Amino acid sequence: MTTALTPGTFDPITCGHLDIINRASTLMDEVIVAVAESTPKNTLFTIEERTDLARKATAHLPNVRVESFDGLLVNFARKMGVSVVVKGLRAITDFEYEFQMNAINQQLDYRLETTFIMSPPEYMYLSSSIVRELAALGGDVSKFVTPEVAEALARKYTQA
């Protein structure tokens, strides 16, 4: 049985993330969406909120589960008994960053393989930061996130 991790901050989870997770779920027996807790990013949502939103967004996928983690991805992969990471690629800048991450992960654990799935054109520009900015400015994010995420963003920005 092949289990893969799809890691990310998911602040918040977007339709672009879900596209990669959906496609990974057709290629792998099981997919663990790994929500990163420790990150240099200043997140809008707490780890609990991001994990909960990811669980709701992937609930329709029977072979997908969501787990949060702290620390190095390679350590979490070992803990989960996973040897495959699935990442999405949008643009050249993604490739450069992911190429570096893959090289480091290979140095830390040569058994950890990374598989890349190219984003379709409709999500090549989409990122969590763009969604957050759009929501903060009162824009309609419903094309880019699930209804639960749109509601959570609205709550965050009306509290601010």
| Catalytic option among 17, 23, 50, 132 | 17
CB-count exposure of residue 26 (10 Å: 0-12, 13-18, 19+) = exposed
**Two structure tokens written together for 134:** 């759009």
| Catalytic option among 25, 119, 128, 132 | 128
- Report the alpha-carbon distance of residue 132 to residue 92 in Å, rounded: 22
| 41 labelled catalytic | yes
CB 151 within 8 A of CB 123: no
CB-count exposure of residue 59 (10 Å: 0-12, 13-18, 19+) = exposed
| 68 labelled catalytic | no
| 65 labelled catalytic | no
| 60 labelled catalytic | no
**Two structure tokens written together for 120:** 């379709």
| Catalytic option among 38, 41, 111, 129 | 41
Residue with token string 């699935």: 86
| Catalytic option among 50, 90, 119, 132 | 90
**Two structure tokens written together for 10:** 């998911």
State the catalytic residues.
17, 41, 90, 128
